[in-house]
Structure 1
Amino acid sequence: MSSLQNDAFPDPAKGEPFLLTPGPLTTALSVKEAMLRDWGSWDGDFRAMSKSVCDQLLGLAGDPDDAYVCVPMQGSGSYCVEAMLGTFVPRDGKVLVLANGAYGLRAAETMRYLGRAYTLIDKGDYMPPRGAEVAEALAADPAITHVIVCHCETSSGILNPVAEISEATYAAGRKLLIDSMSAFGAIDLDVTQIRYEAMVSSANKCIEGVPGFGFAIARKAELEGCKGNSHSLVLDLYAQWTNFVKSGQWRYTPPTHVVAAFLEALRLHAIEGGVAGRGARYTKNRDVMVAGMRALGFETLLKDRWLSPIIVTFFCPADPKFVFTEFYERMKDKGFIIYPGKLTVVDSFRVGCIGWMDAAIMARVVKAAAEALAEMGVASAAPPAAALAERAKLAA
C-alpha cells in the first residue's frame, strides 16, 4: 500500500514483534511518536484535537446531514458497549442479544449486570444470526425494544450480516445497537446504507491507534431522549455528549496521549484510502495468510463465506506433538504474537489480519508457522476428525 513502507515496520529482531490480534495491534512508528508530547486536557488545543477526532469519525460513518453525533468515552471497548446499553436502553426496555461467540455473550452478561431485561439468541461458534431469525424473535416478543449485534465476532472471526439484521429490526419497529469494535474503519458501516441508533468502536482496532478510549456514533435525536437512562455516572453517553456540546471537554480526565496518537492514525487511514483502502489491505492480508496456512494443513473454523478480514480462527492440529503453548512461544520467538482460541467446543487459535502490516508480512507469518511445526516435530497440521464433525453438525 502507498501508505505503508517496509522500512517503517517493526523489527522483531529488536524486540518488537507483530501483534496478530484483534487489538491492541501493531501500530505505525508515527503513531507511537505522536505520544511523545504532553497535552493539557482543558487547553484549547486539546479541545480542538477532540473535535477533529469526532468530526473525522462522523465522516467515516457517512453522516450527510448532521443527524448523528460522535461521543468519545474513556476505557476499553467493553466500557463502550456497557455505556451504549446503559444509555440507549430504557430501564424498562428489553434487549434481544444476538450472540455467536464470546463478545455477544458478554453483551448478555452486561445486561444481567445492569438488571435490565433481555433475551438471547445464541448461535454457537460457527454460524451468524440471520435476519429471518431476528424477525421471528421480534414477532414473538413485543416487549423487546432493542437488538444488539456484534459486527465482527472476533472469538470466531465471523463477519455478521448487519444489513439484513438492521432491515429485520426496523421492519418490526425496533431499534438496533451495533458493537463494531473490530470492524469499524475497515468494513463499511455507512449510516445512509445501514440504519442503527448507535454503534460503538475502539481506538485500537481498524483505525490502528492505541488503547485508551472508544467512541459511539449515535443518532442525535435518539441520544437526546436518553437523559436519566444510564446506571452509571462515568458511563453515561448522554452526559458525556452534553458536556462536549457545552464545553468541548471530556467530563473526566481524557487519555490525552492516546487521542494524539489516534489523530495520527486517522491521518494514515485517510492516506490509505479510508474504509475501502484499509479493508482492501486487510482482505489481502487474510487471503495470503489463509491460503498459506491451509497449504500447511491447517483448517479454518469457518467456511470462506463467513471469514472476516479481521481475524481468522484455526483448529489446533490433531498431531499429539502439537502443543499450543509451545507453538505460541515459537511463533513469538520468530516475531509474531498470535492469539489463543476462545471457542467453547474445540481447541483453536486465532491469527489477526489487522494492524500496521501487509501481505508480505503475512507470508512471513506462514513461513514462521511452518518452521515452528517442523521444530516441534508435527507431521500434519490437520485438525481432529471430531472437530470437523462438530463443525459440520453445528453448521448444518
Structure 2
Amino acid sequence: MLAETKFAAEPLARPALGEPYLLTPGPLTTAYSVKQAMLRDWGSWDGDFRAMTSDMRRRLLALTGDTNGEFDCVPMQGSGSFCVEAMLGSFVPRDGKVLVLANGAYGLRAAQTMQYLGRAYTLIDKGDYLPPRGDEVAAALEADHAITHVIAIHCETSSGILNPVAEIAEAVHAKGRKLLVDSMSAFGAVALDVNEIRYEAMVSSANKCIEGVPGFGFIIARKSELEAAKGRSHSLSLDVHAQWAHMNKTGQWRYTPPTHVVAAFLEALRQHEAEGGVAGRGARYTRNRDVMVSGMRELGFETLLKDRWLSPIIVTFFNPAHANFAFDRFYELMKDKGFIIYPGKLTVVDSFRVGCIGQMDEHVMRRVVEAAAQSLDEMGVDTAAPPAAAIAERAKLAA
C-alpha cells in the first residue's frame, strides 16, 4: 500500500497559453511566475546579477541543513550531465578509483563518463529492478582497497527507483571512502541532509524538483573537497574548483551565465520555500504519485517496481499486452488531451514513464488517469494488463 500524504492545496492552474503538462523528470511544467521572471535582461557582470547569484547559492545551501559552514554551492552552466562530469572530473584524483553504483541508464552514464575521463572505476550493475544495498557496497570496498570514491544515483529515473542513499552513505563512510551523489532528480523533494547522510559532494539541476527551467546545474560540496580539487579537472570549462574560486573572488561566473534561467530559478526557489521546502514539495509529489499509481492500476497497468522502491519523482509502467496497444499512438492521444508522457528507457521490457514532479497536484493526476482511460478506449484496448512474460521477468530479476 502506498503511503497516504496530507495535501489540502487548491488545484493548480493550467499551464500558461494552453501548454500541455510535462509528465517527465525535467524539463517540467513551471509556474507562470517562473516564466515571467525571464522577461527581463540582466548584465552578467552587474552588481544586481551578482547579488542574485549569491542569494541563489545561499538558498541552495540552506536546503542541505549545513549550519556549520562546511559546504559551499557552485553553480555550473550546462545540463545535468555536464555537472556530473564536472563533479567526477574535479573531485576524483587522477590516480583515484570510483565504484559506480548503477541500476539504470544514469548510473551507466556515470560509468561511461569515467571511461571518457580515463580514470579507473569498477561497476555494480543491479539492472532495472533493484537498488544497490549497503552490504554490497561494503563488500566491494573491502575487496578492493584501491577504490577511493563511490558514486550513487539518488533517484534512478530510467526505472523510477529511489535508491537507499543513507544506507549506502553509512557503508561508504564506515570503510573510509568518499561518497558522491547524483541527486539530479531528487534534490529539493527528497531530503539529503548533511547532518544525517555523509557525502562529500552532490549534484543537481535547475529544471528538476526546484521547478526552474533548463540551463545550469549546481554542485554542493565540502569546502575541504573543493580546495583539494585544485588542478585536478580534465576540462577548462568543467573545472569546479576554478568556478568556485572565481565566484568567491569576484561574485561572477567565469564564463557567460544563463542570466534569465538564474532569475527564473530564484523565483522557483521562493515558491519552493513558500510550499514548505523539501518536506512540502516532497509531500505534494508523493500524493501525486499515490493518486496516479492507484488510478493507473485500476485500469490494469502494472508498475515496474514494487511499492517499496517507487519514488515520488517518476513511475515506470509496463506497456499493455493488448494487440491494439501501440505506445506511439498512446503518446499522441495523451498529448492531444494535454499530457506529455515519457518513453521507457529499459532494455528488457517495453515500458513508459509518468512523472510526478512539476507544477501539478493530485487533481491534475486524476485527469491524467482519465486521459489514459479515454486513450485506451479510443485505441480499442479494454485492459492495460502487461504481458505475462514481463511479470515473469520482473519476478525473476527482482528475486
- TM-score band, normalised by the shorter chain? over 0.9
Query: Is the contact made by 2:322 and 2:383 (CA closer than 8 Å) also made in structure 1?
Result: yes
Shift of 1:8: 3.2
1:338 counterpart (333, 336, 341): 341
SS of the residue 1:344 aligns to: coil
Over residues 16-71 of structure 1, what are the superposed CA-to-partner deviations in whole Å (9 max), with x where a residue is unaligned? 00000000000000000000000000000000000000000000011111000000
- Cα distance in 2 for partners of 1:255, 1:267 equals 19
Q: Percentage identity across aligned positions?
A: 78
**How far off its partner does 1:4 sit?**
6.5
2:96 to 74, 93, 97: 93
**Residue 183, structure 1, aligned to residue 186, structure 2:** yes
2:160 pairs with one of 157, 172, 176: 157
Distance in 1 (alpha carbons) for counterparts of 2:8 and 2:114: 41
Aligned partner of residue 82 in structure 1, secondary structure: helix
Cα deviation for residue 379 of structure 1 reads: 1.6
- Which string of whole-angstrom CA distances, capped at 9 and with x for unpartnered residues, describes residues 289-313 of structure 1? 0000000000000000000000000
Code of the residue aligned with 1:145 in structure 2: it is: T
- The corresponding residue for 1:218 is 221
- Give 1:140's match in structure 2, choosing from 132, 138, 143: 143
In 1, are the aligned partners of 2:12 and 2:361 still within 8 Å (CA)? no
Amino acid in the other structure paired with 2:83: C
**Which residue identity is paired with 1:9?**
R
Which amino acid in 1 is paired with 2:381? V
Deviation (angstroms), 1:222: 1.3
Offset of 1:362 from its aligned partner? 0.1
Q: CA RMSD in A?
A: 1.2
- Structure 1, gaps ≥5 residues long: none
Match of 1:228 among 218, 226, 231: 231
Paired with 1:87 and 1:10, the residues of 2 have a C-alpha distance of 39
1:355 alignment partner in structure 2:
358
Q: Corresponding residue for 2:284?
A: 281
What CA distance in whole angstroms lies between the structure 1 residues aligned with 2:258 and 2:9?
26
Contact 2:98 2:122 in 1 (8 A): yes
In structure 2, the gaps of 5 or more residues are 1-5
Aligned length: 394
Matches within 5 A, 1:166-177: 166-177=169-180
Q: Distance in 2 between matches of 1:245 and 1:384?
A: 56
- Distance between the aligned counterparts of 1:144 and 1:228, measured in 2? 21
Structure 2 counterpart of 1:388, one-letter code: I
Give TM-score scaled by structure 2 length.
0.97
1:75 paired with 2:78, answer yes
- The answer (yes or no) to whether the contact 1:94–1:143 under 8 Å persists in 2 is yes
CA separation in 2, counterparts of 1:196 and 1:48?
A: 28
Matched, 1:54 2:66: no
Normalising to structure 1: TM-score of the pair? 0.98
* Matching residue's letter, 1:198: A
Q: Distance in 1 between matches of 2:262 and 2:254?
A: 15
Amino acid at match of 1:313: T
Name 1:124's counterpart in structure 2: 127
1:41 aligned to which of 34, 38, 44: 44
Return the offset for 1:251. Answer: 0.2
Distance in 2, Cα, partners of 1:334 & 1:276: 31
